Amino acid sequence: MLKKRLIGVITVRDGLAVQSIGYKRYLPLGKPEYLAENLDRWGADEILVMSIDRTVRGLGPDLGLLKRLGKVGIRTPLIVAGGISSKDNAIEVVHSGADRICIDALLQDNPEEVRAIAECLGSQAVIASLPVSAGTASYMWWDYRSKALRHLATEVCALLEDGVVSEVLLVDWQHEGIHAGFDQRLIERFPIPNVPLIAFGGVSHHEQIEQLLNKESVSAVAIGNFLSYREHAIQHFKMQLQESHLRGAVFAGSDARV
Partner 1 sequence: MKRRVIGIVDYGAGNHNSVFSTLSSLDYRCHISHDVSALEKVDCLVLPGVGAFPRAMAGLKTFKLVDFLSDWALQGQPMLGICLGMQLLAERSHEDGLTPGLKIIPGEVLPLKDPRWHIGWNSLLRMHRDPLLEIDELSHFYFNHAYAFSEEKDFQVYQADCGKRFPAIIRRGSVVGLQFHPEKSQTAGRKLLKQIIDGLCHA
253: alpha, beta or left, given left = phi > 0 and alpha = psi -120 to 50? left
Cβ contact 196:222 at 8 Å: no
- Alpha-carbon distance 256 to 258, whole Å? 7
52 vs 80, beta carbon nearer partner 1: 80
39 vs 134, beta carbon nearer partner 1: 39
Cβ contact 52:82 at 8 Å: yes
Residue 56 beta carbon to partner 1: minimum distance, rounded to whole angstroms: 28
Residue 72: phi and psi, rounded to 5, are -65, -30
77 vs 111, beta carbon nearer partner 1: 77
- Alpha-carbon distance 203 to 172, whole Å? 9
Residue 44 beta carbon to partner 1: minimum distance, rounded to whole angstroms: 9
Residue 18 beta carbon to partner 1: minimum distance, rounded to whole angstroms: 26
167 vs 183, beta carbon nearer partner 1: 167
What is the contact surface with partner 1 in residues (CB under 8 A)?
1-5, 40, 43, 45, 70, 73, 75-78, 94-97, 99-100, 119-125, 163, 166-167, 196, 219-220, 247-248, 250, 252-255, 257
Residue 210 beta carbon to partner 1: minimum distance, rounded to whole angstroms: 18
Please name every residue paired with 46 in a beta bridge, in sequence order, or none if there are none.
7
